[in-house]
Amino acid sequence: MLRLTAGGTPTREIAERLCLSVTTVRNHLSAITRKTGGRNRIDAIRIAVESGWV
């Protein structure tokens, strides 16, 4: 999910690809942002890339 987000894939398309609801994708991305300590999705992506997670 984070890899798709980092690639610029819209939330709706991520949901379709992963067979999830848009709300579930948004909730997961919010959790990722919290867990990485990022201020927003972009910051969370940066942290994940720098840490080698993506």
Please report, in tens digits, the pLDDT of each residue of the chain (54 residues total): 999 999 999 999 999 999 999 999 999 999 999 999 999 999 999 999 999 988
| The pLDDT of residue 54 | 83
First-last CA distance in the chain: 10
Which residues contact residue 40 at a Cβ distance below 8 angstroms, ignoring those fewer than 6 apart? 33
| The pLDDT of residue 5 | 93
| The pLDDT of residue 8 | 94
